[in-house]
Amino acid sequence: MSWHRKSVCVYCGSRPGNRPAYAEAARETGRMLARNRWRLVYGAGDVGLMGEVARAAMAAGAEAFGVIPAHLVSREVGKRDLSAFVVTETMHERKKVMFMNSDAILVLPGGGGSLDEFFEVLTWRQLGRHAKPILLLNAEGYWDPLVALIDRIVAEGFAEASLRDYFTVAADAAGAEALLAGAFAA
């Protein structure tokens, strides 16, 4: 049996964003994963917030399982010193491997790719395909407009109110840690 009890899939930007608080949230997330002996599952990049999470997690002793499609190895600077480094043919395979190797999903600030990943796991949850916890780490209120949009989707009748119950918002890594610990203990 491996040293980790649970694995957390972290979706986040391959860019650092414009606010230093985003990188700090990523580093704190990495340290939080290590502190709890949870394995990081992520997109295997060594750039942007992805790199920040992975370097902090590994520096604090966490295992890191990275998954990257072949066409992004150079663009996202595939981090090869991970506990596990998997190269897939497509983005779809990448997302599937990441999802299948995790017990929870944590979404930090990011761009279109992070939104794609979030909405895919949210839709799967809505359709009853999984019951894994999904968390948005809302550093600097980054996800506030997304949460408002989802509330609008529900209010306008395009989704059941239960959609809002399929994810939780944490203000920071400490909040995410408490939510994940509670979910994993259940």
Whether residue 82 has pLDDT greater than 90:
no
Q: How far apart are CA 51 and CA 70, in angstroms?
A: 18
Task: Say how far residue 77 (Cα) sits from the centre of its chain.
Answer: 18
Structure tokens belonging to residue 169: 């918002």
pLDDT score recorded for residue 50 = 95
DSSP bridge partners of 67: 86
Structural domains of the chain in order of their starting residue, each with its CATH number:
7-185 (3.40.50.450)
| Banded model confidence at residue 135, pLDDT cuts 50, 70, 90 | very high
pLDDT digits (tens, 9 = 90+) for 12-47: 999 999 999 999 999 999 999 999 999 999 998 889
For the cut 90, the answer to whether the pLDDT of residue 83 exceeds it is no
Residue 109 has phi, psi (to 5 degrees) of: -55, 145
Average pLDDT, the chain: 93
According to the model, what pLDDT value does residue 5 have? 85
Q: For the whole model, what pTM was predicted?
A: 0.94
Contact at 8 Å (CB) between 124 and 96?
Answer: no
Give the separation between CA 63 and CA 32, rounded to whole angstroms: 12
Tell me the mean pLDDT in the region 155-172: 97
Residues in contact with 47: Cβ distance below 8 Å, sequence separation at least 6, in sequence order: 14, 15, 76, 77
DSSP letters spanning 84-107 = EEEEESSHHHHHHHHHHT-SEEEE
